[in-house]
């Protein structure tokens, strides 16, 4: 299991990337994170909703109520145009960061 502090600075981009693919609600997003990482990283519910609040405040995502399912309406999240631009920048930044870190970390076995 990876330490959460290593990923914490990238949670906004991770969640934006998932929502970029398809509008989703909180539980679906947390399941996607677990599935895609083979359960090596799991996001806590409180952390997930704090990220949603931060992204909505910055107008990178917006929420809406979906249709009724299992007793209530679910709150879905979709990425905004501003969010898509932010995600592109975050991906570029990550690729450059990964390149630089690999210069120091590769080849040590």
pLDDT along the chain (109 residues), means of 10: 77 97 95 94 93 97 84 89 98 94 81
pTM for this prediction? 0.86
Residue 64, H or E segment: strand 61-69
The CA distance from 86 to 62, in Å, is: 14
Indicate which CATH number applies to the domain containing 83. 1.10.10.10
Q: Which domain holds residue 31?
A: 4-105
CA angle 101, 106, 109 (to 5 degrees): 140
3-state secondary structure of 79: strand
């Amino acid at each position: 299991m990876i330490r959460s502090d290593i990923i914490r600075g990238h949670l906004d981009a991770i969640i934006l990337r998932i929502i970029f693919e398809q509008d989703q609600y909180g539980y679906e997003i947390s399941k996607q994170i677990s599935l895609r990482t083979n359960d090596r990283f799991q996001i806590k519910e409180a952390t997930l909703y704090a990220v949603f609040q931060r992204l909505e405040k910055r107008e990178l995502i917006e929420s809406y109520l979906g249709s009724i399912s299992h007793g209530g309406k679910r709150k879905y999240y979709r990425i905004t145009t501003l969010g898509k631009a932010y995600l592109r920048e975050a991906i570029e930044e990550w690729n450059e960061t990964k390149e630089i870190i690999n210069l120091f970390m590769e080849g040590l076995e």
